[in-house]
Amino acid sequence: MHYKVKGRGRTESRAVYDVLAINKDGRKELIGIYVSESEGTNFWLSVLTDFKTRGIKDVLLAFIDNLAGFEEAISTIFPQMIIQSCIVHQIRNSLKYVASKDQKEFMSDLKTIYQASTVSSR
């Protein structure tokens, strides 16, 4: 969530990041809320370091956007973690290459693919 803050005689933009996890029992947990002026590798490195300091020993999967250096930051703190691109970001990136008049049909086709329970049910 992005919001504006007045301080030091000017208005600045801030972002609040809610970090969610699914535990080994399949339950969703909020494991942190972080505020930052900008999203970057150093910010995420500090978040991941905080996780490690708080006792998180291992993370199985991370779904990330295409932020430069994010994958390296994760690998530094949790080297065994499996990293995948977020499906929402993959779709947004794909839409850049589709003409605006064709995007509705493209999204309809993608929905069919992503809602399929098996490869053969498409």
| Burial grade of 70 (CB within 10 A; 0-12, 13-18, 19 or more) | buried
Whole-prediction pTM value? 0.67
Tens digit of pLDDT for each residue in 35-84? 887 777 888 889 999 999 999 888 888 888 877 778 888 888 999 989 88
What mean pLDDT value characterizes the chain?
Answer: 86
Q: How confident is the model at residue 98 (pLDDT cuts 50, 70, 90)?
A: very high
Q: Other CB atoms closer than 10 Å to residue 64's CB: what's the count?
A: 15
DSSP letters spanning 42-92? HHHHHHHHHHHHTT-----EEEE---TTHHHHHHHH-TT-EEEE-HHHHHH
Across the range 111-121, mean pLDDT stands at 79
